[in-house]
Structures are given as structure tokens and as C-alpha cells.
Copies of this chain bind each other. A is one copy, B any other.
Amino acid sequence: MSHNTFGHLFRVTTWGESHGAAIGCVVDGCPPGIPLREADIQPYLDKRRPGQSKYTTQRREADEVRILSGVFQDDEIGGQVTTGTPIALEIQNTDQRPKDYSEIKDKFRPGHADYTYWQKYGVRDYRGGGRSSARETASRVAAGAVARKVLDRLLPSPVTIRAALVQVGKHKIARGNWDWDQVDQNEFFSPDADAAKEWAALIDGARKEGSSLGAVVEVVAEGVPAGLGAPVYGKLDADLAATLMSINAAKGVEIGAGFKAAELSGEENADEMSREGNAVKFTSNNAGGILGGISSGQPIVARFAVKPTSSILTPRKTVTKSGEETEIQTKGRHDPCVGIRAVPIGEAMMACVLADHALRHLGQGLTFGE
């Protein structure tokens, strides 16, 4: 991954700041002939869109995506399809209310990238965090929608990529209650209906106090064939780790049993194999579907931890650009649990990494199954 690009063959370059005219991305390497319209992308953006409940930021953005290149309305094919050339996606920034930036212009917000951007670049777009704002992730979600179409085209059977919130603050879901159908029925993408109720209270409490809560997101890809990934630095889990860790506020990533694997014995940890019909069956999935950096055919399971947003309504100690000690306090819009909106972003990153590796697999002269 270079500065603002990720992927090798399914390559996504994003650009834009929180309060600039627009944000967007260029998706390069997409195979041709894949039906692609704005309507294929918009639902994913809608899922990530801010201002949808009192549990997330009140910034209001339509987040309408436009496809500016890389598709063609071919009447013979009978619709708009990709052409194999770069796909430019663009989203206007609409909610840029005139604001008083004097508070954040010269003060570094603790926990934010203000201080480090300034140390690195000597100049920073302080409006809403500029480039370091989570607004950038809208571009990822748009690219993820394209990646899903690519996977549909390339893989021998359908892949299901889903994510869910599995922890808010210290409260974790009950694994036994996992129900994918629940995920879209609550405002937290919780697979556990009971947990959703608890979180509603927890997050609303944090919101009223002007505080914030961290969270853990789990992303699962089912139907991925064995063989995706590559030794040694192109491991599927290494790429997942990089892309998930690159999500704003992420502080940890794990695959399968993850950190718990450190506590298991070799007997407990290594997933045994048996036969089921003509297929290989694993008796457990501590590996999270990846062995030696290559998919095993089991569901790919990744989790990432999201820290509580640092924009809280309590005054915090900090320093100014000129080095004086001071205090700072976030005013106005406030997001009590940024982890919620990280769910569709996690899905998008999984989709992009898988699309990239599907192409890389083909690009080493390999095929999928028969």
C-alpha cells in the first residue's frame, strides 16, 4: 500500500478532505463487462451514511456517488458495464456549514491526528480533520461495492461478505445469540438482539454525557475458495491486517482465534481435517480460514478494535501550535460510538482485499477449481 492507494491488481486510490469540494476514488484493474451503475454502489454508502440515528454523528450528507469513467452503456450488451479502464467515483461534500475554526486551528485535539499531521507537513487542513477525517471511508465503501461485483464475476461460487458489531465498550455479544438477520434490524449492526438493547442504553448514556465508547467489529467472508493469498508478504491476513488497521480509529486486528490463540495449546488450536463428501471439512476454525497466508475454504474471520472517538464534550488538556498549554473541548456534532459506522467499512475492506487477491491468483497463472 502506498500513501493513498491500496491493492495490487484491484487498486483503489482515494482523495479528498472532510470539508473540501468533494471526495472520491479511482478504482483501477476492474475486469471489463461487469454491469455497474450508481445504484449498485449507493446502498452501501447509505449504510455508512452519517446522521441516520441519534447514535451516530449528526452531520448530514447525501453521499450520492457518481461514476465519472470506466463504464459504458453498450446497447448490444444491454446495459452499462465496466470497460476495463479506471473507474472514477465521486461524492460531493454538501454539509459544509460555515464554522468558526478558531478553536481547532491552533490547538491540537488529543487523540486526533492534528499534532502529527502538523509535525509532518507543517500545514494542515484543520476543517473537520481534513484528510484524516473518517469522511475518507465513504470512498472505501464505494470501492468495496465495486469489489463485490468483481468477486461475483471471478469466483466459481457466490461469496457472502458481512460484518457485525460484536462489542461496545466492555459489553460483548453472546456468541450463542448470533443471528445475521438481526444485523440489519437494529441501529448497531448487532447480530445479537439482546446486545443491541444494552448498547442502545450504553451509547445513549455516553451521548448525553458527551463521552464516547470503543467497539469491536467482526467481518466474515463465506464462500471464499481455498487458494487465495500468497507467500510471504502477500499473505491474505497480512493484507487484511493492513487495510483494517488503516481504518480510522482502529487499534487492533485479529484473524480467527486471534489473541486468544496465544492461550491455546497446540492440540486445541490446530483445526483438524476430515472429509465431507468430496470436500475437506475442518472440525473448527481457529485459523479464521487462513493457513500460511492462504485461504483454506473455511469462512474468513477478522476482527478489529475501534477506539472511542476523541471528539468528546469534556475539556481536555492540550497544547497550541506555539507550544503553550491550554484546554480544548469539542462543540457541536459528536459521535458517541464511531465503531458502528465502521461495520460497512470493514466489509468494504474485506471485499477489496478479496477482489485483489482473486485477481492476483489469476495473475499468477492460476485458476479457480475446475
Residues of B close to A23: CB separation below 8 A = 69
Q: How far is the CA of A263 from the CA of B252 in the complex (A)?
A: 12
Residues of B close to A316: CB separation below 8 A = 267, 270, 272
B274 near A319 (CB under 8 angstroms)?
yes
Q: How far is the CA of A296 from the CA of B314 in the complex (A)?
A: 23
Residues of B close to A241: CB separation below 8 A = 238, 241-242, 244-245, 253
The complex is assembled from copies of this chain, and their number is 4
Residues of B close to A366: CB separation below 8 A = 31-32, 84, 120-121
A88 near B24 (CB under 8 angstroms)?
yes
Shortest CB distance A50–B (Å) = 18
A280 near B323 (CB under 8 angstroms)?
yes
B6 near A262 (CB under 8 angstroms)?
no
Q: Tell me if A58 counts as interface (CB < 8 A to partner B).
A: no
Residues of B close to A252: CB separation below 8 A = 252-255, 258-259, 261-262
Total number of A residues with any Cβ neighbor in B under 8 Å = 157
A5 near B20 (CB under 8 angstroms)?
no
Residues of B close to A66: CB separation below 8 A = 21
Residues of B close to A110: CB separation below 8 A = 270-273
Out of B83, B119, B131, name the residue touching A85 (CB < 8 Å): B131
Q: How far is the CA of A85 from the CA of B286 in the complex (A)?
A: 26
A365 near B167 (CB under 8 angstroms)?
no
Residues of B close to A286: CB separation below 8 A = 307
> Which of A174-182, A185-193, A211-219 is found at the contact surface with chain B?
A211-219
B227 near A235 (CB under 8 angstroms)?
no
Residues of B close to A324: CB separation below 8 A = 275
Interface-centre pick from A20, A263, A311, A319 (highest chain B CB count, 10 A): A263
Out of B32, B123, B255, name the residue touching A81 (CB < 8 Å): B123
Q: Tell me if A347 counts as interface (CB < 8 A to partner B).
A: no
